[in-house]
């Protein structure tokens, strides 16, 4: 008789061995449901986490220039303007290069080049040399963002894009919760050490992309041309009227968002008499909410059309910052931060997902670059504008203006994005 492999009655009745509790599937796990994302998205997560964990030079650049090099506050502040102007220029360049050369190549080159620029930065001593190094550093570093956003659109199915973009932001926020704190410690010890750590982590992030295998996609004109070789979609972004209106909405809501770095701290300290430590607490609340809730929110709303989240996000920014005009208590201020943080968690992943949906596949980098430029322009204009309004007209007026800008951004989004379908519908149409 031959040996049989049939199970005995006792073996067939034996229940499979399982853990009594699985954290991966538990409601206690805020990131459940992300297991289906491609490995490339997780590689980008690791890349951004490493890179942002070491990001410390930019927050302490003014302090370095004034204390270490003896620059006047005005000259040191001018370097931030140089950085912002460079970001406005090089963001679109990075997007265009990602369409021409491939998003992966641009991301690798951006990280490696900016890492070496950081290593060389302390050698610059004069105002001209520092300005040149700032342009080089900003130019190399700011090309990464549009390329990384374009890369996500190439490897993720439409119905998973918002979760993927939310995961990307999670890595950035986790890293930024560590980098500036570590930078503050290193700045008290050695500014050179701060530059070295930032450079090394940037190079390590580049090494992740260089040494790990990626799926065979170039990001260059992937499914991007018609059979005749013609470009799909409008000839340029300047012919895409809806997209230009959409960028206007991004710029307006960006002005409102960046008040948390300018008018908000001045208002809290000078007008409400609250301590700088309380302002720091608001950052902690914002980061904790994003880490805990952004991925679950975007997973739960994956079937919603992008337009709905765009409008809701802008309105939450309008209400969150606008309410500061009538709120003066610490508890009330915390409540406003919670409101606009929910807007942040809904809006920014929806912006990226919407652009991935409407952009011609051979020019996704260009569209992402235009988005990066709009945010950089808002970062350049917004803080200055908020401070000027606060000084000239007082807090009630500045927060009223922010409410109006946020509401106008919501109207722009509603008008510019009616073509947007839900990601699930888009995925079904493309299958």
> Hey, is 5 helix, strand or coil?
coil
User: What is this structure's pTM?
Assistant: 0.76
Residue 429 to residues 158, 216, 226, 422, Cα–Cα distance (Å): 10, 24, 18, 11
pLDDT beyond 80 at 210: yes
Question: Between 64 and 187, where is the model more confident?
Answer: 64
Q: What is the pLDDT of residues 364-404, one digit of tens each?
A: 888 888 898 999 899 888 888 988 899 899 999 999 999 99
Report, in this order, helix, strand and coil percent for the chain, each rounded to 5: 75, 0, 25
Among 214-218, 351-355, 406-410, 413-417, name the one with the lowest average pLDDT: 214-218
What is the distance between the alpha carbons of residues 357 and 368, in angstroms, rounded to a whole number? 12
Q: What is the predicted pLDDT for the residue at 5? A: 44
Residue with tokens 């919760």: 177
Q: What is the predicted pLDDT for the residue at 384? A: 85
| Mean local confidence (pLDDT), 128-150 | 92
What is the distance between the alpha carbons of residues 147 and 111, in angstroms, rounded to a whole number? 11
Q: What is the predicted pLDDT for the residue at 79? A: 86
Q: What is the predicted pLDDT for the residue at 29? A: 56
Q: What is the predicted pLDDT for the residue at 431? A: 40
Question: Between 232 and 132, where is the model more confident?
Answer: 132
pLDDT beyond 70 at 49: yes
Q: What is the residue-averaged pLDDT of the chain?
A: 83
**Of 133, 129, 139, whose CA–CA distance to 118 is shortest?**
133
pLDDT beyond 80 at 13: no
Among 2-11, 22-31, 275-284, 346-355, name the one with the lowest average pLDDT: 2-11
What is the distance between the alpha carbons of residues 242 and 239, in angstroms, rounded to a whole number? 9
């Amino acid at each position: 008789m031959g040996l049989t492999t049939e199970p005995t009655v006792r073996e067939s009745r034996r229940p499979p061995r399982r853990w009594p509790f699985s954290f991966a599937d538990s409601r206690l796990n805020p990131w459940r449901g992300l297991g289906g994302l491609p490995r490339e998205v997780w590689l980008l997560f690791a890349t951004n986490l490493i890179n942002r964990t070491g990001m410390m030079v930019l927050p302490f650049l003014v302090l370095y220039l004034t204390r270490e090099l003896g620059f006047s506050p005005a000259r040191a502040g001018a370097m931030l303007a140089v950085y912002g102007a460079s970001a406005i220029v090089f963001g679109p360049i990075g997007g265009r290069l990602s369409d021409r050369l491939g998003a992966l190549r641009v991301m690798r080159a951006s990280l490696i080049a900016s890492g070496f620029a950081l290593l060389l930065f302390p050698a610059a001593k004069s105002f001209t040399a520092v300005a040149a190094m700032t342009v080089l550093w900003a130019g190399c570093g700011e090309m990464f963002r549009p390329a990384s956003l374009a890369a996500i659109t190439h490897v993720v199915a439409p119905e998973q894009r918002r979760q993927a973009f939310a995961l990307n932001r999670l890595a950035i926020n986790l890293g930024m919760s560590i980098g500036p704190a570590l930078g503050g410690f290193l700045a008290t010890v050695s500014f050179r050490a701060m530059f070295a750590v930032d450079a090394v982590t940037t190079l390590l992030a580049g090494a992740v992309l260089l040494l790990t295998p990626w799926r065979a996609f170039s990001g260059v004109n992937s499914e991007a041309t018609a059979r005749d070789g013609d470009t799909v979609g409008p000839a340029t972004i300047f012919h895409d009227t809806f997209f230009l209106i959409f960028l206007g909405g991004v710029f307006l809501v960006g002005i409102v968002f960046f008040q948390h770095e300018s008018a908000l701290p001045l208002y809290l300290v000078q007008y409400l008499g609250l301590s700088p430590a309380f302002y720091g607490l608001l950052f902690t609340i914002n980061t904790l909410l994003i880490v805990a809730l952004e991925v679950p929110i975007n997973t739960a709303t994956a079937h919603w059309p992008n337009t709905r989240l765009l409008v809701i996000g802008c309105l939450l920014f309008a209400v969150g910052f606008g309410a500061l005009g009538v709120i003066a208590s610490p508890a009330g201020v915390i409540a406003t931060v919670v409101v606009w943080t929910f807007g942040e968690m809904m809006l920014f992943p929806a912006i990226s997902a919407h652009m991935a949906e409407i952009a011609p596949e051979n020019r996704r980098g260009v569209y992402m670059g235009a988005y990066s430029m709009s945010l950089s322009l808002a970062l350049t204009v917004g803080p200055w504008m908020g401070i000027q309004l606060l000084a000239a007209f007082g807090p009630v007026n500045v927060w009223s203006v922010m409410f109006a800008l946020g509401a106008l951004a919501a109207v722009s989004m509603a008008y510019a994005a009616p073509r947007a379908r839900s990601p699930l519908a888009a995925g079904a149409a493309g299958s």
